């Protein structure tokens, strides 16, 4: 891995300002954004699993929740990038951090597959019990997000 890039990144004025002055604020904002992302996703996932919000159409619930999910996800990426820049040379060797990022990519693939494939037939199950593929997507999403948050917290202990 080209360490020069990460050394450069870590020594940019922005990165040093984060590590010297802003880190607790950026980290707290990251937790806040994470809470909105994971919390709103959980509301949709438990509906897919048939555990909650039975009276709501899946498409309506997703439509009402996902703008918050994506807005907060943007905030998570920005705050996450600032934290990464502040300690880039360490994070690239931090195993829990790397596992977290892999799980995040898997969560994205799971969501994309659900959106592009499973959700196309939503008209048939919108108001009722979602099919097995949708329930699997919900369960997979919950498990991946538990992993993302767990490995993210572990990152700070290494």
137 contacts 48 by C-beta, under 8 angstroms: yes
Binding other proteins (rule: CB under 8 A), the pick from 36, 66, 99, 133 is: 36
CA distance 6 to 93: 11
Nearest to 47 by CA among 64, 31, 33: 64
Nearest to 104 by CA among 125, 73, 75: 73
CA distance 141 to 39: 12
51 binds other proteins (CB under 8 A): no
50 binds other proteins (CB under 8 A): no
Binding other proteins (rule: CB under 8 A), the pick from 22, 68, 81, 125 is: 68
Cα–Cα separations (whole angstroms), residue 135 to 3, 44, 122, 131: 42, 11, 12, 6
- How many other C-beta atoms can be found within 10 angstroms of the C-beta atom of residue 9? 17
Binding other proteins (rule: CB under 8 A), the pick from 8, 14, 59, 60 is: 60
What does the per-residue mask of binding to other proteins show for 126-155, with x meaning CB under 8 A?
A: --------------------x--xx--xx-
Binding other proteins (rule: CB under 8 A), the pick from 2, 4, 55, 132 is: 55
Q: Output 66 or 106, the one with its CB closest to other proteins.
A: 66
Give contact residues for other proteins (rule: CB under 8 A).
24-25, 27-28, 31-32, 34-40, 42-43, 52-53, 55-56, 60-61, 64, 68, 146, 149-150, 153-154, 157
């Amino acid at each position: 891995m080209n360490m020069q890039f990460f050394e450069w990144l870590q020594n940019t004025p922005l990165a040093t300002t984060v590590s010297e002055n802003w880190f607790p604020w950026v980290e707290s904002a990251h937790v806040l954004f994470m809470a909105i992302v994971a919390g709103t996703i959980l509301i949709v996932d438990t509906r897919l699993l048939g555990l909650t919000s039975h009276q709501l159409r899946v498409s309506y619930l997703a439509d009402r929740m996902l703008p918050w999910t994506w807005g907060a996800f943007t905030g998570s990426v920005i705050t996450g990038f600032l934290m990464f820049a502040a300690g880039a040379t360490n994070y690239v060797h931090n195993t829990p951090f790397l596992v977290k990022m892999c799980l995040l990519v898997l969560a994205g693939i799971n969501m994309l597959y659900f959106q592009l494939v499973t959700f196309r037939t939503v008209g048939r199950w919108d108001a009722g019990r979602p099919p097995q593929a949708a329930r699997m997507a919900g369960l997979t999403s919950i498990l991946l997000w538990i992993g993302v948050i767990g490995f993210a917290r572990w990152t700070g202990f290494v």
